[in-house]
Structure 1
Amino acid sequence: MRTDYLFTSESVSEGHPDKVSDQISDAIVDLFLSKDPEARVACETLTTTDRVVLAGEVRGKGMIDTEGNWEPGAFEEIANVVRNVVKDIGYEQTGFHWKNLKFENHLHPQSADIAQGVDSAGNKDEGAGDQGIMFGYASDETDDLMPATLDYSHKILHKMAADRHSGAAPFLEPDAKSQVTLRYRNGKPVAATAIVVSTQHAVDYCEPWQKDGKSGGDTAKYAELREYVKGAIASVIPAELLSDETVYHINPTGKFEIGGPDGDAGLTGRKIIVDTYGGAAPHGGGAFSGKDPTKVDRSAAYVTRYIAKNIVAAGLARMCTIQVSYAIGVSEPLSLYVDTSGTGTVPDEKIEAAIWAVAKARLGGLTPRGIRLGLGLNKPIYRRSAAYGHFGRTTEGDYFPWERTDLVDDLKAAIN
């Protein structure tokens, strides 16, 4: 391992067009699960200027009948969910307004071929919803056992969004991005070298400009915005990491008034590194949002985070990466791999053996059914996960059951 290096992660706010799409898709998952815990949902969302489009495959009591037809009122209920998500985020702008946007629903019943492979029947257990590889990760860099660069990037934007919603920062608009670069020595962050925040803002809170005889921006308002953002950063990043040498790039283009889906189209699943570990760990490639928990892209990524976090919390390693793999329609994982990057207190193969034992005892195994029932994933808990990261959310209770550290004693016992 290198002993002295720079590392960077980024985050995007709830108003970023891709995150608007993720939140809509997960709100649809929550809607179906609220009516039927065994619902099947694969929902993709496109957002663009004054338009939201849904597509994908679904199945669930209370929404679709046994003949594959929509229940009365189901389309209207979906449309209301979509508009309420956009309203909650705060979009009431020319170009993207919750009340005025055009909505298209192209969801349709789930393929019978997929259902046959995934559903349990007779002696056949519930199978994985697709083939693929999934990763989980934890590190002792922060109290949340997350990479510090990503943890701080998320929390800066979360703080700004809270201030926007409360009215404490009325000049902020929903779309924003952050990026944090830290210097690491011996695996620990020692200094913040560069911080980037670009936030959509109210009219005139930009760098003064003049073009074709027209001018805009207000020097005092621009300074107010910059000082506010610096204060938000300072409220999140530990003071010992900030110094006179920290470089700040706050709205470096000078102006950011047009944002959200009006400024750039959004799609579900385009922010998978923001959703996971900020580049500090591998990613299997599958997105989470819009998928019910039978899809191992989601549930297996959650359970591997759960186990990796407990391994680090147990003191068995300072960092831990776990990989699992599945075949569509097959219940048992094909492989399990652990890498503690030389920080483990016991050999990685012993940790692998302990995982198999603990997962079987506590979850009923690493099958799709074992994961979702063991972690209680068949609940409408997903919209909240779709902005500011799926991991490291330790203060939000039942919405993030994979963040518990209740396997520590079991793992220690299995190792010994």
Structure 2
Amino acid sequence: MRNQFLFTSESVSEGHPDKVADQISDSIVDLFLSKDPEARIACETLTTTQLVVLAGEIRCKGVYENGAWAPGAKEEIEKTVRETVKRIGYEQDGFHWETFRFENNLHGQSAHIAQGVDESGNKDEGAGDQGIMFGYASDETPDLMPATLYYSHKILERMAADRHGKVVDFLEPDAKSQVTLEYVDEKPVRATALVVSTQHAKDMDNDESRAKLRDYVKGVMADVLPEGWLPGDESIYVNPTGLFEIGGPDGDAGLTGRKIIVDTYGGASPHGGGAFSGKDPTKVDRSAAYITRYLAKNIVAAGLARRCTIQLSYAIGVAEPLSLYVDTHGTGTVEASAIEAVLPTLVRLTPKGIRTHLGLNKPIYQKTAAYGHFGRQPDGDFFPWEKTDLVEKLKAAL
């Protein structure tokens, strides 16, 4: 391990065009799961100037069955999409929740995929696709997340709360943050550079308005970061390109699944490449990423390692994972191979086993689609994969 180094992670706000797309896709997942816990959803979203397009494959009782839409289903989908954009806060000429053009190109799931994935007779439910998934935990923060990403998210969450709560009147939904921390002996000790670029109200092209915005953002940074971590003014960058009036889908097209590093660990861990949003929990891209985070977090919470990375791999139509890999990065108190042997005895790592253990067949996903899928407690309640209820079992087994 290096003794001293700098590391950086970024986050993007709920109003970033890609995150708008993610939240729309997950609002559709929640809508379908609220009607049919066994629904199959793979919903992709495109956003651009005054346009939202849905595409993908679905199967859901009471919504889309036997190749046909249920009465009123299309209208409910459109209403859900518009309400999602309204909640984010877009009421701009270039992107307005009430007036954007909407296209619904969702269609039925392939029968060939269904026959390989669905549970039937003596056949267990198979993985919806091949792939590799990673989970990670670190003792850098109370929620066992990489500190660089943790604080990047917190800065933008605070700014969004201030915007929604009308604490300030000059913020618009689109924003990005970036946090660079210095590490000494594997521990973050201070910030060396902080960046925020935020969409703002019109007519802020004067020195007074820019100073007001900078002072506000610097105050948020000071509140979010640990005491003494704030760098000097020369290392704090607020809207470094100048004006940022045109943003969101009007400023840049958005697509589901383009912010997978923001969604996970900010680059501190490998990523298998699969996106989460828009996918029901039978898709191992999502559910296996959640279970690997759950297992890694419980390992660190149990004191078995200070850092932990876990990988799973699957083949389409096959229930059991093809491989399980644990790496404690030289920080473990027991051999990684011993942990690998114990984990499958505590949680069945099939798609159905994961969904059952974590209770994933519920409409809980729209809240995941901004500010990260891990290390968070929306509305004061942990996502199920953030619980540490395996700690005592791990200690007893190891």
Using structure 2 for the length normalisation, give the TM-score: 0.99
Alignment match, 1:381 = 364
State the shift of 1:54 in Å: 0.2
Query: How far apart, in 1, do the equivalents of 2:90 and 2:242 lie?
Result: 22
Matched, 1:414 2:389: no
* AA aligned opposite 2:155: I
* AA aligned opposite 1:104: E
* AA aligned opposite 1:6: L
Query: How far apart, in 2, do the equivalents of 1:64 and 1:279 lie?
Result: 38
Aligned pairs for 1:6-25 (under 5 A) are: 6-25=6-25
Alignment match, 1:391 = 374
**Does the 8 A contact of 2:9 with 2:267 survive in 1?**
yes
Q: Of the candidates 270, 273, 277, which is equivalent to residue 282 of structure 1? A: 270
Query: How far apart, in 1, do the equivalents of 2:251 and 2:227 lie?
Result: 35
State the shift of 1:395 in Å: 5.6
**Which string of whole-angstrom CA distances, capped at 9 and with x for unpartnered residues, describes residues 98-132 of structure 1?**
01100000000110001101100000000000000
**Which string of whole-angstrom CA distances, capped at 9 and with x for unpartnered residues, describes residues 146-203 of structure 1?**
0000000001000000000000011000000000000001100011000000000001
Query: How far apart, in 1, do the equivalents of 2:323 and 2:229 lie?
Result: 40
Matched, 1:322 2:310: yes
State the shift of 1:245 in Å: 7.3
Alignment match, 1:186 = 185
Q: Which moved more, 1:266-275 or 1:398-407?
A: 398-407
Structure 1: which 5+ runs fail to align? 206-216, 360-364
**Does the 8 A contact of 2:178 with 2:195 survive in 1?**
yes
Alignment match, 2:222 = 234
State the shift of 1:64 in Å: 1.2
Instruction: Please give the root-mean-square deviation of Cα atoms over the aligned residues, in Å.
Output: 1.0
Alignment match, 1:343 = 331
State the shift of 1:243 in Å: 3.9
Alignment match, 1:253 = 241
* AA aligned opposite 1:375: L
Query: How far apart, in 2, do the equivalents of 1:174 and 1:398 lie?
Result: 25
Matched, 1:139 2:138: yes
Secondary structure of the corresponding residue to residue 117 of structure 1: helix
Secondary structure of the corresponding residue to residue 239 of structure 1: coil
State the shift of 1:396 in Å: 4.3
**Does the 8 A contact of 1:193 with 1:246 survive in 2?**
no
Q: Of the candidates 218, 224, 227, which is equivalent to residue 206 of structure 2? A: 218
**Which string of whole-angstrom CA distances, capped at 9 and with x for unpartnered residues, describes residues 220-244 of structure 1?**
2211111000011111111122243
Structure 2: which 5+ runs fail to align? none
Alignment match, 1:352 = 340
**Does the 8 A contact of 2:11 with 2:149 survive in 1?**
yes
**Which string of whole-angstrom CA distances, capped at 9 and with x for unpartnered residues, describes residues 365-396 of structure 1?**
10000101110100000000000000001464
Distance verdict in 2 for CA 1:385–1:295, change over 3 Å: same
* AA aligned opposite 1:229: V
**Does the 8 A contact of 1:10 with 1:180 survive in 2?**
yes
* AA aligned opposite 1:28: I
Alignment match, 2:40 = 40
Secondary structure of the corresponding residue to residue 64 of structure 2: coil
Percent identity (aligned): 73
**Does the 8 A contact of 2:25 with 2:43 survive in 1?**
yes
Query: How far apart, in 2, do the equivalents of 1:412 and 1:321 lie?
Result: 18
* AA aligned opposite 1:367: T
Alignment match, 1:102 = 101
Q: Of the candidates 324, 327, 351, which is equivalent to residue 368 of structure 1? A: 351
* AA aligned opposite 2:242: G
State the shift of 1:218 in Å: 2.3
**Which string of whole-angstrom CA distances, capped at 9 and with x for unpartnered residues, describes residues 70-97 of structure 1?**
0000000000011001100000001100
**Which string of whole-angstrom CA distances, capped at 9 and with x for unpartnered residues, describes residues 268-325 of structure 1?**
0000000000000000000000000000000000000000000000000000000000
Query: How far apart, in 2, do the equivalents of 1:398 and 1:74 lie?
Result: 31
Q: Alignment length, in residue pairs?
A: 398
Q: Which moved more, 1:391-400 or 1:12-21?
A: 391-400
